[in-house]
Chains A and B, each alone.
Chain A
Amino acid sequence: QVQLVESGGGVVQPGRSLRLSCAASGFSFSGYSMHWVRQAPGKGLEWVALISYDGNKKYYADSVKGRFTISRDDSQHTLYLQMNSLRTEDTAVYYCAKGYSYSDDWGQGTLVTVSS
């Protein structure tokens, strides 16, 4: 069955960087586009970024454009989110999700807390 396991979250100071990972299994990872979606504590869902199945197309929410970079390593079946210049408003649970349009599989999320 499909498994998506996020890691790399933690507490980080404003202005610093963090890299999230999402390890995928149970499906042909290289054939699927992948998303990052986040959820601030007690708030709704916010789409963050998508990378196409071949890595050639990347899209970002305006709120993270220029600061976050999505990437993938198909040989490791892993999705990444490099987060630079972190702000307190980036505090959230970050989910990876499979699919280009809708997402039928999601990980359980990793919590990122940006605080001094």
Chain B
Amino acid sequence: EIVMTQSPATLSVSPGDRATLSCRASQSVSSNLGWYQQKPGQAPRLLIYGASTRATGIPARFSGSGSGTEFTLTISSLQSEDFAVYYCQHYHNWPRTFGQGTKLEIK
């Protein structure tokens, strides 16, 4: 099983600033990685797939990068609606696994 490790667990950022979230895989997943956003009481929402492709309707301030074992989600200028929990998930093989999440909170 591939273990996905996200850091940091909590990130405190001011609105308008940049946020950088990290995800590391225990072995290469190539570019088979997605990022999801989840707000309290809501289902997850797909942000990024293929490590760097924005999903439909996702604003350009969200960007993903990386391949192999190291990945980054960057939010260029934080809006109030961006404060949430973010998860990475690989889809390289079975079982699919998620990272434990990064909580993005208002500083």
Do A and B come from the same complex?
yes
Seen from chain A, the residues whose Cβ lies within 8 Å of a Cβ on chain B are: 35, 37, 44-47, 50, 59-62, 95, 97, 100-104, 106-109
Closest to B33 in A: A102
Q: In the complex the two chains form, is A104's CB within 8 Å of B32's CB? A: no
A45-B89, A47-B89, A102-B49 known; A108 vs B97 contact (CB < 8 Å): no
Q: In the complex the two chains form, is B98's CB within 8 Å of A59's CB? A: no
Q: In the complex the two chains form, is A102's CB within 8 Å of B46's CB? A: yes
Complex A-B, nearest 6 residue pairs according to Cβ-Cβ distance, in ascending order? A102-B34, A106-B43, A101-B91, A102-B49, A47-B96, A45-B98
User: Contact residue range for chain B?
Assistant: 20 to 34
Report the minimum CB–CB distance from A28 to chain B (whole Å): 17
Seen from chain B, the residues whose Cβ lies within 8 Å of a Cβ on chain A are: 1, 32, 34, 36, 38, 42-46, 49, 55-56, 87, 89, 91, 94-101
Q: In the complex the two chains form, is A46's CB within 8 Å of B98's CB? A: yes
A61 to chain B: which residues have CB within 8 Å?
95
B32 to chain A: which residues have CB within 8 Å?
101
Report the minimum CB–CB distance from B93 to chain A (whole Å): 10
